[in-house]
Every structure is written in structure tokens, then in C-alpha cells.
Amino acid sequence: MVSDRASGTSVPVKDNCPRILSIAGSDSGGGAGIQADIKTVTMLGGHAMTAITAVTAQNTMGVQSVFRVPVRMILEQIESVVGDIGVDAIKIGMIGSADAAQAVAQHLVNHSIPVVFDPVMIATSGSELADNETIAAFGALMNVATVVTPNLPELEALGGKDEILRHSCHLVIKGGHSDGDDVVDELHAPNGLLKRVEGKRIETNQTHGTGCTFASALACGLGAGLDLINAFEQAVSFTRIAIVKAPGLGEGSGPLGHQFVTDFQNSQR
């Protein structure tokens, strides 16, 4: 639990409404980033809070422009919501800059709540969202993360499974970028494989925001008190349903159908 910085006391956990803080970029098209995180957390019964790291002009075709939020403002957003509302889990997505990565990691170094780090580098459209200096600073965030959730290209860019696990975090290897009829997602602990989930590949280009959706669903499960394996399985299931229910918006890679996953919670009980 993160302490209330004003009083030095801890804000009590709300068992019926996990408080999830997303530290990520804004997607003006509503498919990924902060917008996907809010929709995911809301549909899973949590309360979504945000610390916006960047404002992007983007749609299903790509990212047209990026404005990075100053580091001090990112930290002030975190302090503002944590000091009043409290937080049960944190999801980190697009971080914006190397300075922001280092500052956020330092801010969270003494945390005692779950942190899910989705090392966003490239948008689904192919647009670059992290430069080499920022990617090099991801190590600081992996040091404070409970679990890191790269796709296969991101896994390779970060040096592979063993390099990530060297940071003493857990690792989800997402199989969406693999070939074949099946998609395999794996949850690894520093000492070995914990869980493997296999499912049929969903043939669609409506996949904008899948990584953000998965990471925020995982954070919401952890914030609600699920153990890591159950939270992982829930996140895989929620993301797959949201892909199937994608409404088909835009001319490119469209957003998922978070709003149509209305029967998910009942089906999980």
C-alpha cells in the first residue's frame, strides 16, 4: 500500500472497488493507452485513476503527433490521487521519456503494492512510442515491477526472458505476434514457468490496444486481491473476449470492444 503523503498514514483498501492507477499516454482515438486502461478497469469493477505521461494525436491508422508531459507533472498526478484516494495496484504503459522512467521508478522504489509494467515501444500501427534512450531506462521500471508484460518484439528488444527476470520481477510473454493457428501466453517467475495459456488465434486486425488492455486487466485483478496466476488467467480471458467483440471502427487497426464484455464478471464467478 502506498502511504498518504500528507498524514503519513495508509489509505484503507476498498475491497469492493480496487483502485487502479494507470501511468500511461493518452490515445485520442480511444483505442489504447489511458483510454483502454480506464475502460478495462471499469468493466472489471475497479476505479481507474490516471497519471498521463504523454498526449498523442492518433487514430486507427497511426500516431500523428506526441506531446510529452513534463516529469514534475507526472509525479504530481501520482501524488495527488494516491494521497487522497489511495491505490491498490499500478499499471505503467507508455512512459514518454527516459527522465520520466527514472523519476517514476524512484518514486515507486519503496512501494508495497503490485506494479504491472507494459514496456510500450511501438503502437499497433507501427508508430514509435519510445526512443532508444527511453528503452534503455526501462530497467529502472523493471526493478520496481511485480510483473512485466512485453509482446515478442518488445521481449527481444529488452534482451530476452533471462535478462528481464534478472530484475527479480515476474514476466508475461505474450504470444500474439507469433505465427501459427494458436496463441500461447506464458507467466514466468524468476525461478521458472508458472502458467501457460493456449488459445486459438483470432483472425482480425481489430487489435489496437490489446497490450494496454491485458496489462490493466492484470493490474485490476492483482488490485482486487487475486493471486498472480488467477489474475493472469483473468487478463487473458478478458482481452480475448474484448478482441472478439471489437466493433470494427476506423480504417486501420480498430479498438477492442471493452464495452461489450458485459457478461465477463458473472461468467468468472
Active site residue 212: yes
Q: How many CB atoms lie within 10 A of CB 78?
A: 22
From 50, 53, 134, 207, the catalytic residue: 207
Active site residue 209: yes
From 210, 213, 220, 239, the catalytic residue: 210
- Sign of torsion over alpha carbons 172, 177, 179, 183: positive
From 174, 213, 220, 257, the catalytic residue: 174
Going from the C-alpha of 126 to that of each of 58, 62, 91, 92, 104, the distances in angstroms are: 12, 7, 22, 20, 26
From 30, 33, 86, 211, the catalytic residue: 211
- The 3-state DSSP composition of the chain as helix, strand, coil percent (nearest 5) reads 35, 25, 40
Q: How far apart are CA 223 and CA 13, in angstroms?
A: 9
Active site residue 211: yes
Name, in order, each residue with C-beta under 8 angstroms of 159's C-beta and a sequence gap of 6 or more.
Answer: none
From 29, 86, 209, 257, the catalytic residue: 209
Active site residue 134: no
What's the chain's length in residues?
A: 269
Active site residue 195: no
Q: How far apart are CA 153 and CA 217, in angstroms?
A: 21
Active site residues: 174, 207, 209-212
